[in-house]
A and B are shown apart, each in its own frame.
Chain A
Amino acid sequence: MKLSKLVLATVALASGLAAGQAMAQAKEQFIPVLSYRTGPYAPNGVPWANGYVDYIKLTNARGGINGVKFSFEECETGYDTARSVECYERLKSKGASFVQPLSTGATFAITEKAPADKIPVVTVGYGRSESADGSVFKWNFPIAGTYWVAADAIMQAIAKKEGGFDKLKGKKLALVYHDSPFGKEPIPLLQERAAMHGFNLQLLPVTAPGVEQKATWLQVRQNRPDYVVLWGWGVMNSTAIKEAQATGYPREKMYGVWWAGAEPDVKDVADGAKGYNAVTMQHGAEPNSKLVKDVMAMVHGKGQGTGPKDEVGQVLYMRGAMSAMLAIEGVRSAQDRFGKGKVMTGEQVRWGLENLNLTQPKLDALGFAGVMRPISTSCVDHMGASWARIHTWDGKAWKFTSDWLQGDEQIIKPLVKSTAAKYATEKKLTPRTPADCQS
């Protein structure tokens, strides 16, 4: 008796679920949101997701793209690759036209599935660096920078501090990295730079999630590297900064990747992190930007904000918003070609992302003035721009301490080409011809 009731309830529930899904099939462009609001990386995942979702809400409040509104659904991945794949499959079946995996491991897995599903993979500033080569990675879009660009910008900042790349000879540089595909991404580029300029690169892996780093920092204390590059994330960052404080390693000589350069990473250490540097892919904390004002007025002002109000405009919040903006602008540019006011398919959005042309006036209109530079992508170049800046924690806030830096094409391009070519031969792919670019 009990069991049959249970079965009945389940069936009723499942059918209700199906009906709910059918209702959502209105004329809206669906955006899948893969996020991690739980687990060891949640401190960084939450503000990103808030920014991402708020920007979608803001776009709807602004009237959508040519009248097409956006619907979205969040799926919690917990930064687990298997769970991310499940989320991808789940949200894909609801009509996703692009996906942002928000994890290097998931990016690798979804990269293998996306071409068959015809869904572009947008990885703003993360993912696999060689996917900037659009002739091999037709469906991947690491727009506005990759980890190689980030690593190169850090090297340039260090060289500037030392007074030129030739001064780096004989210096010691330690890379303290999260032991995962994410953490290993910068290694090829740093090795290339080390060979070019004759400095000594030391690799110090930290086992995920990175709460235990005593051994690593003991090595730092013994070797006394001239600079430490921190490729960390989530709880690993604040732990690393605390350990640096404990070992007495100067924070001024530490450079973090952009996942290690936001408020949650340094907040707990506050003064102890003073002087700590991190690369940003274009933007930093932008509480005074027009975008933040718009979000405050049109989203939070209406009581629809996603996260706490005082976190709007923080570094990772901006990152989320910018990621959403770039993909949504891809939808807009697709609409310009395939019909305004229509819901775009994955293939159409792919074209849009490939022909993105965000000029300064367009950015100003979107509220991104001063946040980022104009960007345009092409068939061959899926990255679009390789600008970065360095910002430094002054104990209370992140402040820019460098001019605009640009990833050195002389180094990154050949590396992208050769790695992408290796991928192409491994997968037996033929690079796209110019004719294919028009499609």
Chain B
Amino acid sequence: MFYRENGQFKTTYRADQQIFPIAQDRIAILAMLVVGFAAVPLLASDYMFRAILIPFLIFSLAAVGVNILVGFCGQISLGSGAFMAVGAYAAYNFFVRIEGMPLLVALLLGGVSSMVFGMVFGLPSLRVKGLYLAVATLAAQFFADWMFLRIQWFTNNSPSGSVSVSNLQVFGLSLESPVAKYIFCLSLLVIIALLAKNLVRGAVGREWMAIRDMDVAAAVIGIRPMYAKLSAFAVSSFIVGVAGALWGFIYLGAWEPAAFSVDQSFKLLFMVIIGGMGSIMGSFFGAAFIVVLPIFLSQVLPVLASLFGIEISTAGISHAELMIFGGLIVWFLIVEPHGLAKLWSIGKQKLRLWPFPH
């Protein structure tokens, strides 16, 4: 009833090709932005910002990056944690070593460093595919771990190998309060996600998808595999690098290489698979699933248990959390192998006919 495109006539190519061709989508996105920028800052508590919303935003950003590489270009990567690490440490070095370096520039330069790193480790993708590529990108992970643990220069010669930042400012505004951090992350996420969405709709994105679907056929119709694959690595690792820098600067404040371990790479890959490969929207769902659900479970389980008069130990809760989480992953993958984003689009289809499906 509400979600129909009947009567919305496109009279120009421009109107037909816009990012959200349906008016209701435009309204929905605008409403979401208003909620994100205005309502949430008014309503959410300190804890919500610091422990749930900010990690969710940062991981959404990282998942968008990984999705470009894995979901759109079909290059399975297990090096995302390394790209995050490079982004974080590069941004840290730019920020600390250059006097008066603005935070935003440092973050973007972190992304650029990660981009270069990603392209270097993307070179094997020209020769190997699929699982073999996953193993090759795993090398990036181990290399980054080694680099930031062993080369003291990267950690500003700190004795423990842990680095920290504080007194963050953007355009003269302090980034100490959780609301400011949230708005900052959200703005970056919105801008980058919008750029990514436009990229995947355009010529580059079509090349990536052609490579993903069948690289030989793509090469035959004139797509250069090297250019397409490396550009996917470049864009993806730039975004992941910025997300890594945000993770270090905004969320943790002080970090060590273990913050970007191989676990992080797996988590990001799971986000993309569960959220939906080849869907920007899916990245958000995946991030929400992986970041928010465990925290939600660990808070709800004790309450739920106490309702039934059972007292579970802390360790018990943590075990149960892992089991339920694992079970849910399996369940979702069986019910909807194309990820949560597919559920979303099925929902949209149904909404078009609702309330008269016949």
Contact = CB atoms under 8 A, between A and B. Distances in A.
Contact of B315 (A20, A38, A111): A38
Contact of A82 (B55, B304, B317): B55
A86 B58 CA distance: 14
Nearest to A422: B158
Interface string B196-227: 00000000000000000000000000000000
Given A13-B303, A109-B253, A184-B159, A89 B258 contact: no
B161 interface: yes
Contacts of A35: 314
Contacts of A205: 149
A112 B318 contact: no
B303 A180 contact: no
A300 interface: no
A10 B253 CA distance: 33
Interface in A56-109: 74-76, 78, 81-82, 85-86, 89-90, 92-93, 104-105, 108-109
Interface residues of B, number: 39
A75 B314 contact: yes
A184 B254 contact: no
Interface in A1-45: 13, 16-17, 20, 35, 37-38, 42
B7 to A, nearest CB: 29
Contacts of B166: 112, 427
Nearest to A77: B318
| B interface majority secondary structure | helix
Size category, A interface? 35 or more
Interface string B234-251: 000000000000000001
A108 B256 contact: yes
B317 A113 contact: no
A181 interface: yes
Interface centre among A17, A38, A108 (most CB of B within 10 A): A108
Contacts of A49: 314
A179 interface: yes
A108 B164 contact: yes
Nearest to A19: B303
Contact of B318 (A78, A180, A427): A78
B164 A112 contact: yes
Contacts of A365: none
B17 interface: no
Contacts of B298: 75-76
Nearest to A53: B314
A90 B164 contact: no
A116 interface: yes
A385 to B, nearest CB: 23
B266 to A, nearest CB: 13
Contact of B176 (A116, A179, A181): A116
B5 interface: no
B258 A180 contact: yes
A180 B96 contact: no
A185 interface: yes
Given A20-B303, A37-B318, A75-B314, A93 B254 contact: no
Interface string B149-164: 1000000100111101
Closest 3 CB pairs of A and B: A112-B253, A37-B315, A108-B254
Given A105-B259, A108-B160, A428-B167, 12 more contacts: A13-B300, A37-B313, A38-B315, A76-B318, A81-B259, A86-B295, A89-B50, A112-B253, A116-B176, A181-B160, A181-B161, A185-B160
28 contacts: A38-B315, A76-B315, A76-B317, A78-B318, A81-B255, A81-B256, A82-B251, A85-B50, A89-B51, A90-B299, A93-B47, A104-B160, A105-B162, A105-B258, A108-B160, A108-B162, A108-B254, A108-B256, A180-B256, A181-B160, A182-B160, A184-B160, A184-B161, A188-B159, A419-B159, A426-B96, A427-B164, A428-B167
